[in-house]
Every structure is written in structure tokens, then in C-alpha cells.
Amino acid sequence: MRHGKKFNHLSRKAPHRKAMLSNMASSLIAHKRISTTVAKAKELRKYVEPLITKAKTDTTHSRRVVFSYLQNKETVTALFSEIAEKVANRPGGYTRIIKTGNRLGDNADMCIIELVDYNELLLKEAAPAKKSSRRSRGKKSDETTESTPVAKAPKAKKEETVEAPAAKTEETPEAKAEEAKEDDKKDGE
């Protein structure tokens, strides 16, 4: 029975799986980015992130523990020298999985797994982008007419002339009756 055995066996026996993950981890550390299937990348993340955390403390014991997993001197040296320095302040999450679609032959889900601190394209995008404002033609023309003192004077005169005739032309019968009452009061005084 498989009670509590949750990790993906990747259709391989244990020695084959350990050797494959060791080789993939060495390739990831050496090249900083590899292309593989999503299932293998998720298992590789669980395999390599504890090794990177172990590399933050540069002791003989931690080097020997990491070497027992990787079995590659050059990779261990690169991990402890350059990668450990870059990820010293990061509390975890050293890898990123980016899905790239399906493989043509067997339609397997493919992805790229990479070390987070080594992707220069995404690090450059983290900088604040330049703000761009959208302008329409109507606002631009209104601003130019309002800024000139000559254009302001005719607008003010037009507003005055528009308001006066509007009040006189629209008289309702109730308004006429009120005006007549006011006229009578004025005449009586």
C-alpha cells in the first residue's frame, strides 16, 4: 500500500530517479535554466531548494552533504561560491517554473525551470516603468483657448448674453401671474 507516499515517482525506480534528479540539479546550477517537463520540474524544485538553503552556510559539513546529493565537484563549488552569495538575503523560493506549452511528440506539458536571481529580463522589468499619459484632442484644444487672455473675454460676454434672453423668453402663466401681483403691489405703494 502507498499510505502517505505522496511524491511523484516519475515512472522510475528509486536509484534511477535519484540519479536523474542529481543530474538535473547539476545542470540547473551550471546553466541557471533548463527546459523539462512540468512534473520533473516540480520534483526538481523540491530536490534543489534545500540544497541551495544548505549552501548559505559555507562549512565543510554542508559542502559534504550537498556533494552527497550532487556528486559533482564543479557544481558544488559554483553553488557555494556564486549562487549562495546571490541568494543570501532571499528566505526561500530560489526557483521559478515557467510553462511553455506542450511537446510535439507526446503532448507532455513542458516548462522552463530557472534560478530566480539569474533572469536579467525579469529583474530589469522590476524597475518602475516610465509613466505615460493619454491625451485627447478635445482637452488639448480647450487648454490652448483658455490659456490665451483674448479668448477668455469673448466667452464671458457670450455667457452673459445667453443668460439674459433665456430668462425672458421662457415665461410660464404662473410666472406671469406672479409678475402681475408684484406690479399691483408696486402701483398701490
Q: Sorting pLDDT into bands at 50, 70 and 90, what band is 124?
A: confident
What is the pLDDT averaged over residues 80-86?
A: 95
User: What pTM did the predictor assign?
Assistant: 0.65
Q: Give the model confidence (pLDDT) of 13-69 as tens digits.
A: 999 999 999 999 999 999 999 999 999 999 999 999 999 999 999 999 999 999 999
Cβ(117)–Cβ(124) below 8 Å: no
Q: Give the model confidence (pLDDT) of 167-178 as tens digits.
A: 455 567 777 777
Angle between helices 38-55 and 14-31 (to 10 degrees): 70
Q: What is the CATH number of domain 14-124?
A: 3.90.1030.10
Q: Give the model confidence (pLDDT) of 131-172 as tens digits.
A: 677 776 765 555 555 555 555 555 544 444 444 455 455 567
Kindly list the distances between the CA atom of residue 69 and the CA atoms of 5, 10, 52, 56, in Å, as whole numbers in the listed order: 21, 18, 12, 16
Angle between helices 149-169 and 137-147 (to 10 degrees): 100
DSSP 33-79: EEEEEHHHHHHHHHHHHHHHHHHTS--HHHHHHHHHHH--HHHHHHI
The domain segmentation of the chain, as residue ranges, is 14-124
Please give the pLDDT value at position 189. 61
Q: Mean pLDDT lowest for which of 7-11, 16-20, 106-110, 173-177?
A: 173-177
